[in-house]
A = this chain, B = another copy of it.
Amino acid sequence: MATATPPRLTRSQVEEIVRQVVTERLKAPGPGASGLVVHASARHAHLCREDLDRLFGPGYELTVDRELYQPGNFAAKETVTLIGPRSRLISNLRILGPLRSRTQIELAFTDAVSLGYEDVPIRLSGDLDGTPGAYVMGPHGVVVLKEGVIRAAMHAHMSTDEAAGYGVSPGDVMKLRVGGDAGVTFERVHVRVDPAFRLEVHMDTDEANACGLRYAREIGLFK
């Protein structure tokens, strides 16, 4: 049962490693190359300017820890503590930049259950009305988030050309098949198109674990 990984990793570190391995195994060889990239997003937070000020102090700026696959997006060095119903919490919740107009917390259902949520709806990014809230704690202060906690709907980023290649438009829904020992087809992959996007599907850690993304032998995105 010996492993190459050092002992006493936190769960989030393990998830980070899994995510990286997935990235390395599946992504196209370099920027601009064709090829479908599927990333498992671990739970994370997007913050608005006002909430960043409250959590980290007025005028605070996020520090880039790692560039993400979509241009301009990054994992910040900064994290927050998320407190859910029944006073249970998740610490070291990663902040992703850049800032957004509304604060949004993306959890897998496993995270939601462990935090004590009865239900967290599957939503597209930014579609936050009527979603559950949370308390968010930073080094400078606390934000009482009235709504903004979601499970992110699976989605595909693609450029205008790639959308044309697939014959799809923004808002369409595609299917993602992950072949392997599990063999799972996800039917509701929402299409997001922007000239600057690179072809990439985002799923959450529950979905990645269920389909064995790490060990996938073939991956296909289709209408």
Contacts and interface: CB of A to CB of B under 8 A. Distances in A.
A11 B188 contact: no
A154 B211 CA distance: 11
Nearest to A210: B210
A185 B182 contact: no
A61 B1 CA distance: 30
Interface residues of A, number: 48
B121 A181 contact: yes
Copies in the complex: 2
B181 A187 contact: no
A147 to B, nearest CB: 11
A204 B182 CA distance: 12
Interface in A107-145: 108-110, 113-114, 116, 118-119, 121-122, 132-134
A186 interface: yes
Contact of A186 (B122, B182, B204, B206): B182
Contacts of A86: 3, 5, 7-9
A184 B185 contact: yes
B215 A119 contact: yes
A212 B116 contact: no
Contacts of A110: 110, 205-206, 209
A183 interface: yes
A166 B202 CA distance: 35
Nearest to A111: B209
A11 B11 CA distance: 15
Given A109-B212, A207-B210, A210-B210, A1 B84 contact: yes
A64 interface: no
A210 B212 contact: no
A164 interface: no
B186 A1 contact: no
